[in-house]
Amino acid sequence: NAGVMQNPRHLVRRRGQEARLRCSPVKGHSHVYWYRQLPEEGLKFMVYLQKENIIDESGMPKERFSAEFPKEGPSILRIQQVVRGDSAAYFCASSPPYHEQFFGPGTRLTVL
Amino acid sequence: KQEVTQIPAALSVPEGENLVLNCSFTDSAIYNLQWFRQDPGKGLTSLLLIQSSQREQTSGRLNASLDKSSGRSTLYIAASQPGDSATYLCAVKGGGSYIPTFGRGTSLIVHP
């Protein structure tokens, strides 16, 4: 069984460009979580999605950030007009409800 | 709001020692607690998951215990090895939410 896949693993963008981060959950998992991790800081929850629905986006900035988990295909975290402060590692995790989370390897975003 | 604290923040020990890492949480109404390890520049690897009805879980040299009434979990690592060097995080899920709350982690170095 393949684990959680994330791509790209590394992404470099200039200020003002868009960043698209993709996450393919473990097969059969209907719950996806996105987290951001800054150097020397903890893991911060951003958004929780089930298929075609956003359940909780309380950790996601209201502007420039959006997430989706379509019926078919991977979950996408989209950051528009990136700024240097968006540079971080972005992790995706999947799980069934009330069960353990499995994390992907992360996407490291660098904004120049 | 759930708060999760991990003590110590960093730990350096010689190979062969038995270790105890601590995780405390403020809201005892939890569904489960999960321990992870994170290697530098990598994603999170699930180590152990303890459901709220359980008192402990074991996997190889690792043993995790849960005391909901006192809001504590401990991760015991027996006969530590240099390969155990990593950051260890605990995550608590509960309080009517699917969103886990992560601690800041304990950075462990096991030197030969």
Instruction: Tell me the chain B residues in contact with residue A4 when contact means C-beta distances shorter than 8 Å.
Output: 43
Instruction: Tell me the chain B residues in contact with residue A105 when contact means C-beta distances shorter than 8 Å.
Output: 42-43
| Integer Cα distance of A62 and A50 in angstroms | 19
Query: A93: nearest CA in chain B?
Result: B44
Question: Does A65 lie at the interface with B, CB-CB under 8 angstroms?
Answer: no
Whole-number pLDDT of residue A51: 85
pLDDT band at B99 (very low <50, low <70, confident <90, very high): confident
E strands in chain A: 5-7, 10-13, 19-24, 31-37, 43-50, 53-56, 65-68, 75-79, 88-95, 102-103, 107-111
| Nearest CA-CA distance, residue A105 and chain B, Å | 4
Query: What pLDDT, in 10s, does the model give residues A21-40?
Result: 999 999 888 899 999 998 77
- Residue A97 in this model has a pLDDT that exceeds 90: no
Query: A58: nearest CA in chain B?
Result: B99
- Residue B93 in this model has a pLDDT that exceeds 70: yes
Question: Does A31 lie at the interface with B, CB-CB under 8 angstroms?
Answer: yes
| B107 burial via Cβ count (<10 Å: 0-12, 13-18, 19+) | middle
